[in-house]
Chain A
Amino acid sequence: MNSRFNKFIVVIVLCITLIACGSETVGSLVGGKEVEVNLVYGSEKQEWLEPLVAEYNAAENKTADGSTIVIKAEPMGSIEAINAIIGEEIQPAVWSPASSVYLPVAEARWQEKFGNELAAKTPPDLVLSPVVIAMWQPMAEALGWPNEPIGWSDISELAISEEGWTAYGYPEWGEFKFGHTHPDFSNSGLVAILAQAYAGVGKQRDLTPDDLLSPELAQFMEQVESSIIHYGSSTGFFADTMFNRGPSYLSATVMYENLVVAQETKRLTGASAQIPVVAIYPKEGTFWTNNPYVILNALWVSDTQKEAAEAFEAFLLDRPQQERAIALGFRPADPSIPLGSPLDTDHGVDPNQPQTVLEVPEADVIEGAQYLWRQAKRPVDVTLVVDTSGSMSGDKINTARNSLVEFINQLSNRDRVQIVLFNSQVSVLSPLTPLADKREELVRRVSGIIEDGDTSLYDAALEAYQQLETDGDPEHIRAVVVLSDGEDTSSVRTWQEVLQEIGANGEEEGGNSIKIFTIAFGSGADTTVLQQMAEPTGGKQFTGDPATIDDVYAEIALFF
Chain B
Amino acid sequence: MQSNKLLFFGIIIIAAVIVAGMFLARSLLVNNDPIILSVLYSTEKDAWLTDISSGFAGSVNGRPIQLEFEKMGSREIYLSVLDDSRQPDLISPASSLQISILHDQTEAEAGTPVVNMIGAEDCRSVVSTPLVLVAWQERAEALGWLDNPDADMWEQLQSAVVNPQGWAAYNHPEWGFFKFGQTDPNKSNSGLMALLLITYDYFDKVTGLSTADIIADEYAQWFKEFGKFTTVGDSTGTFMQEIVAFGPSKYDMVAVYESTAIEQIENAAGRYGELRVYYPPATVLSDHPFCVLHADWVTSDKADAARQFIDYLLSQPVQEKALALGFRPANPNIALDTPDSPFNRYAANGLKTDLPAEVELPSGEVLNTLINFWNRNHR
Contacts and interface: CB of A to CB of B under 8 A. Distances in A.
B241 A21 contact: no
A6 interface: yes
Contact of B12 (A13, A285, A290, A337): A13
A357 B245 contact: no
B96 interface: no
Contacts of B174: 149, 283, 355-356
Given A334-B245, A335-B244, A335-B245, A288 B250 contact: yes
Q: Which of B1, B8, B242, B249 has the most CB of A within 10 A?
A: B249
Q: Which of A9, A10, A206, A336 has the most CB of B within 10 A?
A: A336
Interface string B239-275: 0011011101110000000000000100110111000
B15 A17 contact: yes
Interface in A533-551: none
A500 interface: no
A20 B23 contact: yes
A76 B260 CA distance: 37
A288 B246 contact: yes
B281 interface: no
A354 interface: yes
B249 to A, nearest CB: 4
Nearest to A336: B267
A78 B357 CA distance: 50
A351 to B, nearest CB: 8
A148 to B, nearest CB: 12
B169 interface: no
Report whether over half of chain A's contact residues are helix, strand or loop; otherwise say mixed: loop
Interface stretch (A35-43, A122-130, A417-425, A484-492): A122-130
Interface in B4-62: 4-5, 7-8, 11-12, 15, 18-19, 22-23
A128 B243 CA distance: 12
Contacts of B248: 355
B18 A21 contact: yes
Contact of A16 (B15, B177, B238, B264): B15
Contact of A13 (B15, B166, B228, B250): B15
Contacts of B177: 204-205, 356, 359
A68 to B, nearest CB: 23
A204 B176 contact: yes
A284 B176 CA distance: 7
A130 B228 CA distance: 24
A213 interface: no
Contacts of A284: 176
Contacts of A20: 18-19, 22-23
A354 B271 contact: no
A338 interface: yes
Interface in A300-350: 331-339
Q: Give the interface size bracket for A toward B.
A: 35 or more
Interface residues of B, number: 38
Interface in B164-191: 166-167, 174-177, 179
A356 B177 CA distance: 8
A339 B271 contact: yes
A496 interface: no
A357 B41 CA distance: 33
Contacts of A357: 176, 179, 249-250
B229 A205 contact: yes
A504 interface: no
A3 interface: yes
B294 to A, nearest CB: 28
A122 to B, nearest CB: 6
A1 interface: yes
B11 A10 contact: yes
A9 B8 CA distance: 8
B234 interface: yes
Given A14-B15, A16-B19, A333 B245 contact: yes
A352 interface: yes
Contact of A335 (B11, B12, B167, B241): B241
A352 B249 CA distance: 9
Contacts of B166: 204
Contacts of B18: 17, 20-21
Q: Which of A20, A288, A358 has the most CB of B within 10 A?
A: A20
A149 to B, nearest CB: 6
Contacts of B19: 16-17, 20
Contacts of A124: 238
A335 B264 CA distance: 8
Nearest to B244: A335
A309 B299 CA distance: 33
Contacts of B228: 206
A6 B175 contact: no
B15 A335 contact: no
A100 to B, nearest CB: 11
Contact of B270 (A21, A290, A338): A338
Contacts of A130: 249
A3 B6 CA distance: 12
A250 B246 CA distance: 30
Contacts of B12: 9, 13
B245 A13 contact: no
Contacts of A283: 174
A6 B18 CA distance: 20
Contacts of A352: 272
Contacts of A358: 176
A128 B5 contact: no
A339 B249 contact: no
Contacts of A332: 245
A128 B23 CA distance: 52
A194 to B, nearest CB: 15
A64 to B, nearest CB: 13
A210 B267 CA distance: 42
A333 B267 CA distance: 12
A298 B40 CA distance: 26
Given A125-B245, A338-B270, 13 more contacts: A9-B12, A16-B15, A16-B19, A17-B19, A122-B235, A204-B166, A284-B176, A288-B249, A334-B245, A335-B245, A335-B264, A338-B267, A354-B249
18 contacts: A6-B5, A6-B8, A9-B8, A9-B12, A16-B19, A21-B22, A149-B174, A204-B176, A205-B176, A206-B228, A333-B245, A334-B245, A336-B267, A337-B270, A338-B271, A356-B249, A357-B176, A357-B249
Going nearest first, the 8 A-B pairs with the smallest beta carbon separation are A356-B176, A338-B270, A335-B244, A17-B15, A354-B249, A335-B267, A335-B245, A20-B19
